[in-house]
């Protein structure tokens, strides 16, 4: 798994590339997110358009981040184009806690004034 963090207006967009699996490899990402939150960032978009696999350790990242940002009136969104990744999110019920978009364009259109 690789990831890139980019500024998108008030959001930090985290582009995750490859498989989100194994707690050991996701710990680095989780630590990065915690550092961003500690530095005052409370709005995140997880872009999974280039994610090919997602397991429970990835779900844990989203839940941990959600709990942390909610304490500061933050927000989290997920972009998931892959049908298998979206199915995992649906099966565990993440889509009931975090809004999931089909594409980055769809997210950007809905958040135009805060992403620019």
Tens-place pLDDT, residues 64-86: 999 999 989 999 999 998 788 99
Domain boundaries, the chain: 2-108
Q: What is the pLDDT of residue 116?
A: 58
pTM score: 0.92
The domain defined by 2-108 carries CATH number 3.30.750.24: yes
In the three-class reduction of DSSP (H, G, I as helix; E, B as strand; rest coil), residue 85 is classed as: helix
Tens-place pLDDT, residues 42-67: 999 999 999 988 888 889 899 999 99
Q: CB of 41 within 8 A of CB of 12?
A: yes
Q: What is the pLDDT of residue 112?
A: 81
Q: CB of 83 within 8 A of CB of 113?
A: no
């Amino acid at each position: 798994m690789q990831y890139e963090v980019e500024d998108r207006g008030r959001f930090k967009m985290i582009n995750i590339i490859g498989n989100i699996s194994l707690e050991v490899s996701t710990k680095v990402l989780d630590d990065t997110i915690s550092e961003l939150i500690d530095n005052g960032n409370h709005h995140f978009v997880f872009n999974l358009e280039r994610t090919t696999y997602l397991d429970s350790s990835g779900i844990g990242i989203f839940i941990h981040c959600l709990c942390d940002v909610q304490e500061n009136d933050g927000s989290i969104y997920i972009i998931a184009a892959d049908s298998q990744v979206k199915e995992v999110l649906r099966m565990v019920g993440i889509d009931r806690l975090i809004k999931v978009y089909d594409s980055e364009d769809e997210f950007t259109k809905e958040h135009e004034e805060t992403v620019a």
